[in-house]
Amino acid sequence: MRIIARMNVGGPAVQVSGLMRKLPSDEFDHRLYTGYCADDEADYLETQAHDVEAIRIEGLGRSIKPSDDARAFARLVREIRDFRPHIVHTHTAKAGVLGRSAAKVAGTGSAIVHTFHGHLLHGYFAPAKTKAVIAVERSLAKVSDRLVAVGPRVRDDLLSAGIGKRDQFVVIPPGLMMPPGPPKDEARQSLGLPKEGPVIAFIGRLAKIKRPDRFAEVVRVVHAQRPDVHFLVAGAGDQEVALRESTRDLPVMMLGWRDDVESVLAASDAVLLTSDNEGTPLSLIQAGMAGLPVIASDVGSVRDVVVNGDTGWLADPTPEALSRALLSYLNDAKEAARRGLFGKAHAEAEFGIQRLVRDHRSMYLEICGQESLV
| 374 occurs within a structural domain | no
Q: What is the CATH number of the domain that holds 110?
A: 3.40.50.2000
Instruction: Please say if the pLDDT value at position 120 is more than 90.
Output: no
- Please write the tens of the pLDDT for every residue from 156-173: 999 999 999 999 999 999
Total domain count, the chain: 2
Same domain, 171 and 230: no
Give the mean pLDDT of 46-62. 93
The residue segments making up the domain with residue 333 are 184-350
Angle at 338 between CA 336 and CA 341, to 5 degrees: 110
DSSP 162: T
Band the pLDDT of 279: cuts 50, 70, 90.
confident
Tell me the torsion sign for CA atoms 209, 148, 349, 44.
negative
Instruction: Please say if the pLDDT value at position 372 is more than 90.
Output: no
Using CB atoms within 10 A of its CB, is residue 222 exposed (0-12), middle (13-18) or buried (19+)?
A: buried
Q: What does residue 100 show for φ and ψ, rounded to 5 degrees?
A: -70, -40
Instruction: Please say if the pLDDT value at position 374 is more than 60.
Output: no
Same domain, 332 and 360: no
- Residue (of 158, 203, 153, 145) closest to 173 by Cα position: 153
Give the mean pLDDT of 83-91. 97
- Residue (of 90, 88, 96, 146) closest to 120 by Cα position: 96
Same domain, 258 and 320: yes
Same domain, 338 and 359: no
- Mean model confidence pLDDT for the chain: 93
Tally: H helices and E strands in the chain? 14, 13
- Please write the tens of the pLDDT for every residue from 6-28: 999 888 999 999 999 999 999 99
- 348 by DSSP, 3-state: which? helix
Same domain, 278 and 356: no
